[in-house]
Homo-oligomer: A and B are copies of this chain.
Amino acid sequence: MPLPRDYTAQQCSLARTLEVVGERWTLLILRDAFYGARRFGEFARTGIPRAVLTDRLNHMVDAGLLERVGSAPRGHYGLTAKGISLWPTVYTLMAWGDEHYAPGGPRRIFVHAGDGGSLGPTGACELCGAVVPVGDILVTPGPGLEPPAPDEHPVNVALRSPHRLLEPLLGEPVAAEG
């Protein structure tokens, strides 16, 4: 019997969302896109099999979460507005993992660039209470982040200092295309 990507006959928007982001590795790719990963190799740092990464990136472009500028071997990817609107989901998943599966404390801390306040469990700034636009959030290393491994991927190195979400991780930022 066929095993589609869809949850047939589901009258629920959660099922619709899972049809887009529910496959293995997709949400991890999304996370890295928020961190500023743009090149195929930057997404590959997580260990995802290359055939799966190719498939997921194509699917995410088709679904309108990412847009691709240029083509192999020069293409790079960026989040669309539709993709960016998944930030609350990505953030709450990370917050929950920090709360329940981070014995050393959170691995990354997200900070409102405007006032230095940490983001709370629902993603609002704990200082000013605002829902912070993604571009105003810094991702910083937390106490639970493990020490660097030998031959650490440049993306991992870049994420060991505070970094603004959506800004490219490697190389200089290009002109905004918002």
Interface of A with B (CB < 8 Å)? 7-18, 20, 22, 24, 27-28, 31, 46-47, 82, 85-86, 88-90, 92-102, 106-108, 121-124, 131, 144-146, 156
Q: Which of B15, B85, B96 contacts A86 (CB 8 A)?
A: B96
Quick check: B101 and A13 within 8 Å, CB to CB? yes
Quick check: A97 and B17 within 8 Å, CB to CB? yes
Q: Given A24-B22, A122-B122: A11 and B146 within 8 A (CB)?
A: yes
Q: Which of B14, B99, B101, B108 contacts A90 (CB 8 A)?
A: B14
Quick check: A93 and B97 within 8 Å, CB to CB? no
Quick check: B131 and A97 within 8 Å, CB to CB? no
Distance to closest chain B CB from A97 (angstroms): 3
Known interface pairs A12-B28, A14-B28, A22-B27; 13 further A-B residue pairs with C-beta atoms within 8 A, sorted by A's residue number: A7-B28, A8-B47, A10-B28, A13-B95, A13-B96, A13-B101, A16-B100, A17-B101, A18-B93, A85-B96, A88-B95, A88-B121, A92-B92
A-B contact list, 21 entries, CB within 8 Å: A8-B47, A11-B146, A12-B94, A13-B93, A13-B94, A13-B101, A13-B106, A14-B90, A14-B93, A14-B94, A15-B97, A16-B97, A16-B101, A16-B102, A82-B100, A86-B96, A89-B93, A89-B96, A122-B122, A122-B123, A122-B131
